[in-house]
Amino acid sequence: MKNTKLSVNDISQKLLAGDVVALSRAITLIESKKNTDQKLADRLLKKIVPHTGHSLRIGITGSPGVGKSTFIEAFGKHITSLGKKVAVLAIDPSSAKTKGSILGDRTRMEELSKDAKAFIRPTATGTSLGGVADKTRETILLCEAAGFEIIIVETVGVGQSETAVRNMVDFFLLLQLAGAGDELQGIKKGIMEMADAIVITKADGENEKKAKQAQTEFFQALHLFQPSTSAWQPKVLTTSALQKKGIEEVWKMIQSFQLHTAKNGFFNKNREQQKLEWFHESIQLQLKERFFKSKKEVAKMKSLEKKIVNGEMIPSKAAEEFVLSSIRKR
């Protein structure tokens, strides 16, 4: 037990000193499903929490093929060229059958992965919905404790459940391809409403003219939505990651957002609300886990499942009976 305690202290000290090996070990620890590792992870997080909260958290999403990794690499290199440290949490989708994941973002961001001021952590989504991994929030805190000033969370792509990342970042960026006339119809309204900015990617060569047209159409579409609670007017920019065009403008825009929301108090209020969201989500998750760890609860659930399949009960009524019976036992 004594050695274990020293091990946690050692990891936390190295982590706070900016040791990326210690950061990787810490992330692996918090992602572990073992009870012993979870207890160690809790102690580690308690030690580093006072050293967190100082970063700018940026969420980046977009449909597969939009060029997220290419954009993030160019964007990340620009940030490190300014002397800042950037951490990229690249979330890869897990297979529903094998639970495995390709985790290929280090390969796709080869240049950035070699940058001494950058840290890339590819992570599988596991059982989590919302385009993020189970322990994304904790990983953000660990990266902040390690001295990373910019945290980028790259989600798996755009879908109905891809909005969870919005509740854990300061700035939410949506990447889109040119040809807005067709794509505009297929974009989830919820995603666009939550975006602080839209960036049209691959705006080079023959696509440049289409990108400019898409920029105009998206900008007009954004004006149809209700004003955001941050009082920030979402922007639409064009970029070419290959030609390094528009990358600096995106960074300046994000800085403007940070200054704007810091002045009107939204930045801190949003962070406070996100902590409460995390708290409420954790309650639901832990209650669910406790139910499934009990053999009696599992047996009760199986019994109710049979009644549902046989048409004896509707799912909502069965769920009510399950919850009420569990409460009575306590």
Among 218, 237, 264, the domain boundary falls at 264
Same domain, 61 and 144: yes
Distance in angstroms (rounded) separating the CA atoms of residues 298 and 146: 41
Q: Please report, for residues 193, 266, 300, 308, 316, the alpha-carbon distance to residue 304 in angstroms, rounded to integers and kept in the order given.
A: 40, 46, 6, 6, 11
Same domain, 228 and 284: no
Same domain, 128 and 259: yes
Residue 271 lies in a domain: no
**pLDDT band for position 192 (cuts 50, 70, 90):** confident
Same domain, 143 and 90: yes
pLDDT above 70 (res 131) = no
pLDDT above 90 (res 101) = no
pLDDT tens digits for range 238-269: 999 989 999 999 999 999 999 999 999 999 99
The rounded mean pLDDT for the chain is 84
Structural domain for 316, as ranges? 276-329
Q: What is the CATH number of the domain that holds 224?
A: 3.40.50.300
Residue 270 lies in a domain: no
Please check whether residue 63 is in contact with residue 167, taking contact to mean a CB–CB distance below 8 angstroms: no
pLDDT above 50 (res 29) = yes
Residue 242 lies in a domain: yes
pLDDT at position 228 is 84
Same domain, 171 and 69: yes
Same domain, 2 and 57: no
Mean pLDDT of the region 21-50: 92
Mean pLDDT of the region 311-326: 91
Please list, in sequence order, all residues whose beta carbon lies within 8 angstroms of the beta carbon of residue 298, skipping any fewer than 6 positions away: 292
Residue 3 lies in a domain: yes
Among 264, 285, 309, the domain boundary falls at 264
pLDDT at position 129 is 40
pLDDT at position 246 is 96
Same domain, 85 and 151: yes
Distance in angstroms (rounded) separating the CA atoms of residues 300 and 294: 10
103 DSSP assignment = -
Same domain, 226 and 249: yes
List, as one string, the DSSP characters of 120-184: EEEEE-TT--TTS-TTHHHHHHHHHHTT-SEEEEE-S--STTTTGGGGS-SEEEEEE-S-HHHHH
Instruction: Specify the range with the lowest mean pLDDT, choosing from 81-85, 104-108, 153-157.
Output: 104-108
pLDDT at position 91 is 72
Nearest to 78 by CA among 255, 256, 259, 244: 244
pLDDT tens digits for range 254-309: 999 999 999 999 999 999 999 999 998 888 888 887 777 788 888 999 999 999 99
Residue 198 lies in a domain: yes
Q: Which of 57-61, 93-97, 157-161, 228-232 has the highest mean pLDDT?
A: 57-61
pLDDT at position 188 is 58
Nearest to 171 by CA among 80, 78, 55: 55
Percent of the chain at pLDDT > 90 equals 56
pLDDT at position 93 is 47
**pLDDT band for position 234 (cuts 50, 70, 90):** very high
Same domain, 324 and 175: no
Residue 223 lies in a domain: yes
Residue 269 lies in a domain: no
Same domain, 14 and 59: no
Residue 140 lies in a domain: yes
Q: What share of the chain is helix, strand, coil (3-state, %, to 5)?
A: 55, 15, 30
pLDDT above 80 (res 235) = yes
- pTM given for the model: 0.86
For 330, the 3-state DSSP assignment is coil
Nearest to 151 by CA among 322, 27, 299, 316: 27
Same domain, 236 and 137: yes
Structural domains of the chain, count = 3
Q: What is the CATH number of the domain that holds 16?
A: 1.20.5.170
In this structure, the number of other CB atoms found within 10 A of the CB of residue 156 comes to 23
**pLDDT band for position 33 (cuts 50, 70, 90):** confident
**pLDDT band for position 163 (cuts 50, 70, 90):** low
Same domain, 31 and 149: no
